[in-house]
Structure formats: structure tokens, C-alpha cells
Amino acid sequence: MSMSYSLRNTLLLAVTLFIMLGTGFTWLWFGSWQELGELEKSNDVQRAQLAGLTAEVTRFSEVYEQNETLTHRIDNYPKTLFPSHRLPHLYDYLRLADRGSVFLNYTFTDSTAQGSHGRMRFNVDGVSDYRQLRDFIFTVEHSSPAVRITDLQVRPTSNQNNLHEVGFRMNLVAYYNRGGRNVIPTYAEQVRGELPHNPFFPLIHGVAPNANNMIEPERSRLQAISGDAIFLYDQGNQLRRLVLRERVHLGYLESVSAERREATFLLNKGGIIERVTLRISQ
């Protein structure tokens, strides 16, 4: 039985189409797809390199900004001599450097002539907030007069009202002009430091007494809960009302649960953090 002309043409077209599809698939598989895979791997490597370069640029930018800051300080804080060894110059300088934020005791030691210049030695001691003392030291180091700190002692104090307070004592040397030449006026431009941490801050310290008769949760009895407010009898057996986050002695009311009929307080006992939960008695 002979095959019809139309069927033969249809089969030829189907075979031709199959061959084209196979050829195209083979070309894609062994050509473009592999090439795309290699390109994707190359892109991953380039992205990793770009991330490394971006991090490097960030670090460079930070170092550049620090260098610009230090260069500005060096260019704008040239060291000069005090015009003479008269003590008012020294007093005025300390007053400007301090700005009234540090409690200073000032003691002049002596003055020594050294050719065309001289050297004055003096001591400064007192108590101060650590950050204010740090700023005072930065100011002394970066202001125009040639003043050098030769010795520095810092110690924590026992002031429970300000745990950032420190006691200090420093010995300084200031240089003054003896050659008769003119010197530019001295100044003390305050420089703020960028190190907020106080290494002398006591992690464990004493507990301040309850001078204001605040509620002491551990000596109180929970009576009722209404929304975010609670009612309790305090250490003096007085009925008191508290709302969420309100202060108590050594802490505050942290959470309230009407369903569990309880209130939780967060207390800081001299650096030791504790939670105290009061419940309504059945």
C-alpha cells in the first residue's frame, strides 16, 4: 500500500522539526548553558571581589576621615609658649580649659629658667564626672599653650549619687617665653572626646537608701489590678497605686498580667539585676 503524498510530507516535516529541536537543544546544552554557568560562576567571584573592595573603601574612608580630623587639630592647635611666668596666665588658661565643669584644686610648685624659655610646674587635683575629666585632659593636650601632663592618677569615688564620678590628681609642666620675642595669645579650645565608657565605673556597688519613701516591692503586698495599673500595700502598709513603667525603689514596674493576677518589678540592686513578682493572694 503506497503512502499518500500529504502523509509523507507530514512525516518529513516532523522529522525535520525533531532534528532542529535536537540540534538546538544540543547547542544550548553544550554551548550556551555551559557558557551561562561559567558566566554565573564568574559573576559570583566578581561579586565577592566587589564586596571586598567595598569593605576596603569603607575602611579607607574611616581612616581618611580620622586623618583629616587629626590633621585639622594639628593645623589649628599650634603649640605656643605662655608670654611669661606670671601666674594669672596659668589661672586664665585653666579656667578656659575647665569651663567650670571640673572641680579643680590648683597648686603651683616652682618655675625654672632654661635659656630662652622657662618651665613652670604645677599640680591639679579634685573630683569630676569621668567624661568631663576626659574632655579637660583632651583640651589641655590639644590647646595652643605648651603644657604637658607628666603624671596622672585617677581613682573611683564612693559617691552613690554619681557612680561616674572619679577622683584625680595630675602633675603638669607649662613652658613660657623668656627671650623677649612676641608670642601669639594662648587659648584653650575645648575638645570633646569620643570614648563614652568609664573604665572606673563600678559594676557592683552599694545600694542607695530609700530616702524618698518609694515603694519597696519586696516588702509590699499586691491588692488589685486594673488595666495597666496596680494597687498594693507598701512597706508602711499604705495603699499605693502604680502604673506600668513607674519608678519604685531601685527599679520600676516592668509588667502587669490581669489573667495571672501578678505584677513584675525590675530592680537594680547595686549592679545585680533581679525581677520580683507579686501575686494577689487567693
- With CA atoms as reference, report the closest residue to 107 among 154, 149, 155, 169: 169
Q: Does the pLDDT of residue 2 top 70, yes or no?
A: no
Angle 178-105-146 (CA atoms, 0-180°, nearest 5)?
30
Residues 198 and 130 sit within 8 Å (Cβ to Cβ): yes
Q: Which residues contact 261 (CB under 8 A, 6 or more apart)?
A: 225, 279, 280
Q: What are phi and psi of 21, to 5 degrees?
A: -65, -40
Highest mean pLDDT among 45-54, 192-201, 209-218: 209-218
Predicted confidence band of residue 222 (pLDDT cuts 50, 70, 90): very high
pLDDT tens digits for range 43-98: 777 777 777 778 788 888 888 888 777 776 666 556 778 777 788 778 878 877 77
Give 123's Cβ-side CA count (13 Å radius): 8
- pLDDT at 227 exceeding the cut of 70: yes
CATH level 2 (architecture), domain 217-279: Roll (2.30)
* Highest mean pLDDT pick, 31-45, 58-72, 190-204: 58-72
Residue among 144, 138, 29, 12 at smallest CA distance from 76 = 144
Per domain, the residue ranges of the chain are 1-76, 87-177, 217-279
User: Rounded to whole angstroms, how far apart are CA atoms 249 and 208?
Assistant: 9
Residue 182: predicted pLDDT: 54
Q: Where are the beta strands (DSSP E) in 157-189?
A: 165-177
Comparison of pLDDT for 255 and 116, the residue scoring more: 255
User: Quick check: 102 and 136 in contact, CB under 8 A?
Assistant: yes
Most confident range (mean pLDDT) of 10-14, 127-131, 193-197, 231-235 is: 231-235
pLDDT over 60 (residue 186):
no
Residue 78: the pLDDT is 62
β partners of residue 224? 231
Side chain identity at 171, as an amino acid letter?
A: N
Q: Give the global pTM.
A: 0.52
CATH architecture of 87-177: 2-Layer Sandwich (3.30)
DSSP symbol at 31:
I
Average pLDDT (210-237) is 92
Position 247 scores a pLDDT of 93
Rounded Cα gap, residues 124 and 152, in angstroms? 10
Question: For the chain, what is the radius of gyration of the CA atoms?
Answer: 38
Residues 6+ apart with CB under 8 A from 151: 170, 171
